[in-house]
Structure 1
Amino acid sequence: MVVQDFKVDLNKALVFQVGHLGEAYQEWVHQPIVCKEGPRFFENEFWEFLTRTVWWAVPVIWLPVVFYSISMSVRMGHGFPEIALMVFAGIFVWTLLEYTLHRFLFHIETKSYWGNTAHYLLHGCHHKHPMDGLRLVFPPAATAVLCVPFWNLVKLISVPSVTPALFGGGLLGYVMYDCTHYYLHHGQPSSDVPRNLKKYHLNHHFRIQDKGFGITSSIWDRVFGTLPQSKAAKKDR
């Protein structure tokens, strides 16, 4: 149900409010509030707890799974060069998945009550409150659920002895992605590569939100033509 001229009360739990915005949701969610204190999502303390994740939980929880998965392929007889290739392939697959999810799922346009609600939970909250440090990485419970179809996908395209290392590489790519994402928002890079990557990502948040979908790199934005123009290039036209 959409309420005409609905206004979100930022002092109340947001998740079940945003759906009422209807078609106005897209404009509202892309007007960021730059504040390190995140909003409350749910009145229920348990559900609210599940939405908050410290960044270091990602490597602590998932790196052991990465190493265990890779070790399974080692025990099946694969040597270091083969393992390295499998892991690199998994990371490469993740970069494409990262881009695809960000572009086609995280930025899907919604206007229904439940569509807006689901989008806000999935990614809209991050664009509305981009500096919320406890909602920058994916909650471990949600990641665990998504690992199941990812494992089945890898299993479908590879042989049994390769599947664990390829899966481990993809999961390592995810860990790199989430840690990089947190750093781009809260880190202060001193060298050119991370500094440019931070600028590139913040450009997606604050200037051109329908381009620049890569997080760990801009490679797929270049391949698929979603690389945003620089300010200098726009002035020259």
Structure 2
Amino acid sequence: MLKIENLQVHYGGIQALRGISLEVPDGRIVTLIGANGAGKSTTLRTITGLVKASGGSVQWDGQELLGKSIDKIISTGIAMSPEGRRVFPDMTVLENLKIGAYLRRDKAEIEKDIQWVYSLFPRLEERSWQLAGTLSGGEQQMLAVGRALMSRPKLMMLDEPSLGLAPLVVQDIFSIIREINRQGVTVLLVEQNANMALKIADLAYVLETGTITMSGTGSELLADSRVKEAYLGKSS
């Protein structure tokens, strides 16, 4: 389980996270929704060590992550698919996937996991020798998720996976998130598409200007009038 308690982050004089607490139980899909600038990406980046916390605690399976190096955090079984995909454009699909396994030494198992990623994303196998920069936005998102899976994570964090994608592609991405979870990976999802995110979430939190204002099951928040008005449009 991932357990965050009273997490605080400052960027200079601005407080981005104001003492948030949340839990991500093993085997679940947990989503964090909120407007732009609410602190969602900052939360993920602090968990992975990319952003330094100014207070609080981030515990993963009982061990404190704050203060650990990024590679140590990844080696505990946490991976992130970042916002904006950030694939390596001048490398092939296969090379991008192999970079995701850079901390691993088990070559035979890495080959098995490449085939696992291809089973989730058949299009990546079709384009394995294509340069990542020539892929469509949806294909690059699939590659970013596949690359994160190559570290064989127990916890997969996804930052805005639907951003800028066509509705049909978004449905594909969310179906794959469900499938990854079914295969035993815990998921922490940050997403502006609140409707899609809440539909697949076991648990959900609403983040507003660095503070968690609501929490509950995905279906509870989908039905809540305040969430409907703020994030889903009144007609939802």
For Structure 1 versus Structure 2, the TM-score category normalised by the shorter chain is under 0.3
Q: TM-score, normalised by structure 1?
A: 0.25
Give the number of the structure whose residues are more often helix, by fraction: 1
The higher radius of gyration belongs to: 1
More strand by share: 2
Q: TM-score, normalising length from structure 2? A: 0.25
